[in-house]
Amino acid sequence: MSDHRSNGSGNGPGNPGKADNANPENAKPEKGVSRRSFIKGAGVAVSAVTMLREGLLSPTAAAADAKVAGPGAIAMTLKINGQAHKITAEPRLTLLDALRNNLDITGAKKVCDRATCGACTVLMDGKAIYACTLLAIDAQGHDLQTIEGLSAEGALHPIEAAFVDHDAQQCGFCTPGFVMAAKSFLDAHPQPTREQVTKGFGGNFCRCGTYVGVREAVLDAAGRMRGGRA
Amino acid sequence: MADYKWPAAENRSLIGKRISRLDGPLKSSGRAKYSFDVNRPGMLYGKMILSPYAHAKVTKIDTTAAEKMPGVKAVTLIWEVGKEVQWAGQEIAAVAAETEDQARDAARAIKVEYEVLPHLVTDATPQQAGADHSKQLSEQKTGDPDPAFAQAAATIEGTYGSPVITHCCLESHGQVTEWQGDQLTVWASTQAVSNLAGEYAPAMEIPAGNVHIITPVMGGGFGSKFNSDVWGFACARLSKKSGRAVKMLLERDHELMVAGARPSIYAKVKVAAKADGTLVAWKSESWGTAGPGSAGNPTLPYVFRPENRSSRHTAISTNIGPARAWRAPNHPQMALITMSALEDLAAAVPMDPLDFFLKNIELTGTLAKVYKEELLKAAELMDWKKKWHPRGQMVAGPIQRGLGLSLHTWGGGGHQSNCNCTIHPDGSVEVSLGSQDLGTGARTVIGIVAAETLGLPLEAVKVNIGDNHYPASGASGGSTTVGGVSSSTRRAANNALNELLAKVAPSLGGDAEQLEAVGGVIRVKGDTSKFLPWKQACAKLASTPITAAGQTSKDLISSGVGGVQMAEVSVDMETGVVRVEKMVAAQDCGLVINLKTAESQVYGAFIMGITYALHEEKIMDQQTGRCLNADMEFYKLAGLGDIGELVVHMMTGPGYDDRGVIGLGEPPVISPGAVISNAVANAIGVRVPTLPITPSKVLAALESKGAKA
């Protein structure tokens, strides 16, 4: 799997190591249905309809076979920053809304709400993803890391410190997304070139215009992390 | 006694240095709590139903079904039956429910019926729009352009323009509201913390003193967040009805449809010069739309005032949505029209535009000396003389390079600000004022000024802002914040210090006049043996803290800045793609308080400018009257890969510092559209008449040039 996936928006050149939300290998739902299993389930349902029509299956058995979660609230467990969180919510809840609304973990921001701007970037199994376009039920069984898990209260991760030193933030609303994208990017590219940094952050947008600081901060953070100051 | 005048350069320990912003660690670690992040106990989520029609009369609003939907706790009407909506996205009603999804479902279940009326959403000329949609806003004439044109050596005529663009704040507009009895708390994403209580109070029929506005940080405003707005009042009513806190921040499409737009401008220009390049006459006819109102009234030409000039501007009323102040209202449009026409004229003379602008520099008036210094500095940083080539002079291959330049100006005098400075007996210091930090670094400026005044390190000062319980201090608009808050803070801290000096004088020889606060001590001027460390000095206060007030002080601030920008672009003649290779700014803003965040303002303005020059346009559908790109896939912002090399030079030192503090938010965002348009014209030999300069417009311009040849 490439570390520089297109985000499909046509807006930027690529994205720093975004995990594939719909990757069947990553989808291990404990409850409910993933997109893949939904499609498989739909196949089952179609054949079940055929079987029903032909009198080969009872209606109850067909419904049980489809295993569709919801539409009412269901219990889910999300592993965030090493800690298990239980919530009860409708299966249509996005990971971003689960974090922000159900768990009061608000570092990831809601801006475009459709996988374009990167303000909601969190890590899933170490890869950057857009939390606004992943269902919470599909995030179950994965290791999620939000910006709250990057540094302890009162301390700064080297990336965060570099963002401060290079003034890579103004209003700061896009900043947590950039910091998490930088974490994923630097894990994949510990010694990035300026060119790689320029290309690697096409999946995050800023309105105040902090890119000059972001570019310097990422390059500086790479050095700080290599220097064992992480 | 301490003097409140700004310290001389050699005595500044913090002012003018590069200092990291105070809230940087909170922001970069995701711990800063924006209005959008406030979660109150039992909080509900509000959503609105919007008009799908650009012009229609509402004939029926039925909320019965919505009220019975799962999780719904309150419904409120925003619009009335019988009233005409003037743009698609007009708010009709709002609901509050337990979850966002439930609220969205319920808003959709509100049944609204409309009598659809004809709309106008195109960027029409006054002739196309017709008399009903056109209103002449201004007509000016100085001298007589027509005879001057007849005698001129070079005359050009051109049409230039820029479409409606939006603000696209990343934190959308909105708030969280909560009632306790008749006390209302609003966590608002606003540029005007001290002003909002005065708007909520009459709307909610409570005294203004019962309204608490809280905005410790906010996610971008750019001129679009001065008011409570209909969603603010609707949110407060939903809270009141449900007895619960309600969060209602706009959805992205709503944000882009109605929560901010910059008026368009188009202009037909005729401008002429003598053979030596002296500008002699200007004539322009301009128009543009600001939605249904008539905001946006440019004064043309911009910066330069030739002897003979006339201009007329007409506002076109349309149903594209309401305009709001957009960073430097009118100026980016005026700069685009004027500087494009002037560079076209320079090319016709023919003359290097740098020489042309220098030749006419006295026509800029009082800022002529500043502009001249900035032009020379920017030219040096761009290596202009080496890189510039006459317009249309091509190199082999598809990639052509070009240079462009522009001048701009802005006021930026300080707003009315009140500040309190408290010195506690334990030595801790607080400065408090109601203004907000939009991300410009206002909080840090306040801390720097207080610390410098008290001779303390920055971390010794606690800065309290963004709350209307602190002393009333102005809205952040028009680059007025830094002048207001720096001067009120300087006066407050200085007044507090003088009270402290009076208290400690008996321990240091008895004469407060001879005392000063420097390097963490109170000492006798000129006698380093007589001093008290800050903490011991403050202990003399026994148990009562000092609180002293300060207000905006006109003798610490000024207004009226000049700036010069230059751009170098490359254009692919085969694909039409424009790349910004380098931009240079030479910018004056009087005394710089924090060089680091000042430079960030200019870098940010460059990037916002690259975005509007190359990408931004609010695209309306003529058939349905709706905005076609109310999302961030198709309302495009520049990314990190689009910015090229950016060089910022702040004009500081003698002649600049002594003017006092002047605002910086607006000026650097004025010229980027003009410099990029000019650089493209220089590169490809033909003007792309309107922004954004998209590949298809570049190719169309090249085709028209080919057709003429």
User: Which token pair is B246?
Assistant: 């309600």
Tell whether the model's pLDDT for residue B472 goes beyond 90: yes
Question: Which stretches in chain A have pLDDT values below 50?
Answer: 1-57, 59, 61-62, 229-230
**Considering the domain boundaries, does residue B634 fall inside one?**
yes
In chain B, whose CA is at the least distance from the CA of A178? Answer: B28
Q: Which of B584, B567, B585 is nearest to B693 (CA)?
A: B567
Does residue B215 share a domain with residue B95? yes
| Mean pLDDT, range B559-585, rounded to an integer | 98
Task: Please identify, among B538, B556, B574, the residue that sits at the C-terminal boundary of a domain.
Answer: B556
CA A212 to CA B643: how far, in whole Å? 8
Task: Please identify, among A66, A81, A107, the residue that sits at the C-terminal boundary of a domain.
Answer: A66
**Considering the domain boundaries, does residue B123 fall inside one?**
no
**Considering the domain boundaries, does residue B276 fall inside one?**
yes
Reduced 3-state DSSP string for B531-548 = EEEHHHHHHCCCCCCEEE
Contact (CB<8Å) B640/A197: yes
CB < 8 Å to A199, chain B: 641
CB < 8 Å to B611, chain A: 209
**Considering the domain boundaries, does residue B346 fall inside one?**
yes
CA A171 to CA B645: how far, in whole Å? 23
Chain CA centroid to CA B469, Å:
25
Residue of B39, B605, B631 lying closest to A114 (CB–CB): B631
Sort strands B111-116 and B56-62 into parallel, antiparallel or unpaired: antiparallel
CA B1 to CA B3: how far, in whole Å? 7
CA–CA min distance B401, chain A (Å):
21
pLDDT at res. B300: 97
pLDDT tens, position by position, B266-309 = 999 999 999 999 999 999 999 999 999 877 789 999 999 999 99
Tell whether the model's pLDDT for residue B505 goes beyond 70: yes
Asked if B133 and B124 touch (Cβ cutoff 8 Å), the reply is yes
CA–CA min distance B647, chain A (Å):
10
pLDDT tens, position by position, B121-176 = 999 999 999 999 999 999 999 999 999 999 999 999 999 999 999 999 999 999 99
**Considering the domain boundaries, does residue B486 fall inside one?**
yes
Residue of A9, A108, A202 lying closest to B641 (CB–CB): A202
Radius of gyration of chain B (CA): 28
Which CATH number characterizes residue B384's domain? 3.30.365.10
Determine the structural domain holding residue B323 and report its residue range: 261-412+558-708
pLDDT at res. B707: 63
Residue of A174, A197, A201 lying closest to B170 (CB–CB): A174
Which CATH number characterizes residue A217's domain? 1.10.150.120
Q: How many domains does chain A have?
A: 2
Interface of B with A in 583-612 (CB under 8 A): 596-597, 599-600, 603-608, 611
Asked if A120 and A132 touch (Cβ cutoff 8 Å), the reply is yes
Interface predicted TM-score of the whole assembly (ipTM), two decimals:
0.97
CA B534 to CA B520: how far, in whole Å? 5
Q: How many domains does chain B have?
A: 3
| Residue of A15, A80, A96, A173 to mutate, testing the B interface (most B Cβ within 10 Å of its Cβ) | A173
**Considering the domain boundaries, does residue A140 fall inside one?**
no
Measured from the Cβ of residue A72, the count of other Cβ atoms closer than 10 Å reads 10
Please tell me if residue B310 touches chain A, with a CB cutoff of 8 Å: no
Does residue B632 share a domain with residue B677? yes
Asked if B500 and B541 touch (Cβ cutoff 8 Å), the reply is yes
CB < 8 Å to B646, chain A: 212
Does residue B400 share a domain with residue B435? no
Tell whether the model's pLDDT for residue B188 goes beyond 90: yes
**Considering the domain boundaries, does residue B637 fall inside one?**
yes
pLDDT tens, position by position, B406-439 = 999 999 999 999 999 999 999 999 999 999 999 9
pLDDT tens, position by position, B382-410 = 999 999 999 989 999 999 999 999 999 99
CA B201 to CA B208: how far, in whole Å? 5
pLDDT at res. B296: 76
**Considering the domain boundaries, does residue A96 fall inside one?**
no
pLDDT at res. A27: 37
**Considering the domain boundaries, does residue B680 fall inside one?**
yes
Does residue B405 share a domain with residue B434? no
pLDDT tens, position by position, B311-339 = 999 999 999 999 999 999 999 999 999 99
pLDDT tens, position by position, B626-637 = 999 999 999 999
CA B601 to CA A170: how far, in whole Å? 8
CA–CA min distance B683, chain A (Å):
25
pLDDT at res. A48: 42
Task: Please identify, among B504, B522, B556, the residue that sits at the C-terminal boundary of a domain.
Answer: B556
Tell whether the model's pLDDT for residue B510 goes beyond 60: yes
**Considering the domain boundaries, does residue A169 fall inside one?**
yes
Asked if B337 and B408 touch (Cβ cutoff 8 Å), the reply is no
| Residue of A101, A113, A167 to mutate, testing the B interface (most B Cβ within 10 Å of its Cβ) | A167
Does residue B513 share a domain with residue B659? no
Average pLDDT of every residue of chain B: 97
**Considering the domain boundaries, does residue A197 fall inside one?**
yes
CB < 8 Å to A93, chain B: 99, 101
Determine the structural domain holding residue A205 and report its residue range: 158-226
Q: Which helix (H) or strand (E) holds B580?
A: strand B578-588
Does residue B182 share a domain with residue B291? no
Task: Please identify, among B249, B278, B296, the residue that sits at the C-terminal boundary of a domain.
Answer: B249
CB < 8 Å to A97, chain B: 100-101
Does residue B447 share a domain with residue B397? no
pLDDT tens, position by position, A92-134 = 999 999 999 999 999 999 999 999 999 999 999 999 999 999 9
pLDDT at res. A67: 73
pLDDT at res. A60: 52
Asked if B47 and B90 touch (Cβ cutoff 8 Å), the reply is no
Sort strands B515-518 and B521-524 into parallel, antiparallel or unpaired: antiparallel
**Considering the domain boundaries, does residue B126 fall inside one?**
no
**Considering the domain boundaries, does residue A113 fall inside one?**
no
In eight-state DSSP terms, residue A101 is I
Measured from the Cβ of residue B348, the count of other Cβ atoms closer than 10 Å reads 16
CA B362 to CA B622: how far, in whole Å? 46
- Render the burial of B546-572: b for 16+ CB within 10 Å, e for the rest: bbbebbbbeebbbbbbbbbbbbbbbbb
Does residue B188 share a domain with residue B69? yes
In chain A, whose CA is at the least distance from the CA of B22? Answer: A164
CB < 8 Å to A116, chain B: 631-633
Does residue B404 share a domain with residue B421? no
Phi, psi of B73 (to 5 degrees): -115, -20
CB < 8 Å to A119, chain B: 170
Does residue B552 share a domain with residue B615? no
Does residue B221 share a domain with residue B307? no
pLDDT at res. A68: 82
Does residue B291 share a domain with residue B327? yes
Which CATH number characterizes residue B43's domain? 3.90.1170.50
User: Which token pair is A48?
Assistant: 């079940």
Sort strands A83-89 and A74-80 into parallel, antiparallel or unpaired: antiparallel
Residue B67: is it exposed, middle or buried by C-beta count within 10 angstroms (0-12/13-18/19+)? Answer: middle
**Considering the domain boundaries, does residue A81 fall inside one?**
no
Tell me what percent of the residues of chain B surpass a pLDDT of 70.
100
